[in-house]
């Protein structure tokens, strides 16, 4: 396993938002992965692989329409979630989350749409950005371990990404964790 301390996320250039009326905006992240759609698909639906990179665990496969329980890192209460769309190697939808996979050269273009409370949209972008990096390392055979929830917010790269995405989205970066230094 590669040490997470040696990992440094790249610039905040993976995400954009759809600013919608109401409390939730749609976060859209796109990542080019060097891995086949088959390999990426398995990482999206397999509970054992999700446990290695995603900010949640699930009590069953996400690869079939039906109900599963998602437990987000930092929140011990499972949330009953409906998997509403499964098109193997192409699309997956559950709850407020949609994934699309597209073969791209020798790899996969992975796109995530996630509805997030607009007050925390930069935090969500920073967290998912890091999760995508962790996924890429996992699929490359150089896992760095999951960096999610409260652990992610303590990570210096997360603090930088949160500020960069807030600036891109035109929002004020939440001061999180509360003891973190304020950004000008």
Q: How far apart are CA 170 and CA 125, in angstroms?
A: 13
pLDDT tens digits along 61-101:
999 999 999 999 999 999 999 999 999 999 999 999 999 99
Give the mean model confidence (pLDDT) for residues 141-159. Answer: 89
- Per DSSP (E only), the strands in the chain are 15-18, 24-33, 56-58, 66-72, 79-87, 91-94, 97-104, 107-117
Give the mean model confidence (pLDDT) for residues 46-57. Answer: 97
The backbone torsions φ and ψ at residue 134, rounded to the nearest 5 degrees and listed phi first, read -60, -40
Question: Are the beta carbons of 161 and 154 closer than 8 angstroms?
Answer: no
pLDDT of 177 reads 57
pLDDT of 184 reads 44
Within 10 angstroms of residue 115's Cβ, the number of other Cβ atoms is 19
Q: Which of 22-31, 97-106, 149-158 has the lowest mean pLDDT?
A: 149-158
Question: Are the beta carbons of 137 and 7 closer than 8 angstroms?
Answer: yes
Question: Are the beta carbons of 149 and 23 closer than 8 angstroms?
Answer: no
Give the mean model confidence (pLDDT) for residues 128-136. Answer: 96
Q: What is the mean pLDDT of the chain?
A: 91
Q: How far apart are CA 168 and CA 60, in angstroms?
A: 36
């Amino acid at each position: 396993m590669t040490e997470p301390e040696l990992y440094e996320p790249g610039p905040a250039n993976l995400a954009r938002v759809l600013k919608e009326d109401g409390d939730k905006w749609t976060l859209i992240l796109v990542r080019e992965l060097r891995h086949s759609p088959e390999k990426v698909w398995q990482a999206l639906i397999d509970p054992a692989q999700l446990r290695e990179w995603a900010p949640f665990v699930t009590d069953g496969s996400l690869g079939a329409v039906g109900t599963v329980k998602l437990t987000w890192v930092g929140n011990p209460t499972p949330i009953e979630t409906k998997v509403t769309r499964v098109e193997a190697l192409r699309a997956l939808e559950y709850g407020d989350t949609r994934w699309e996979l597209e073969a791209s050269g020798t790899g996969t273009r992975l796109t995530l749409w996630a509805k997030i409370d607009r007050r925390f949209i930069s935090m969500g972008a920073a967290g998912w950005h890091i999760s995508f990096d962790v996924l890429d390392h996992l699929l490359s055979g150089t896992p760095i371990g999951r960096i999610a929830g409260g652990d992610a917010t303590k990570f210096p790269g997360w603090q930088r990404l949160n500020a960069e995405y807030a600036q891109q989205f035109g929002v004020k970066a939440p001061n999180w964790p509360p003891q973190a230094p304020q950004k000008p």
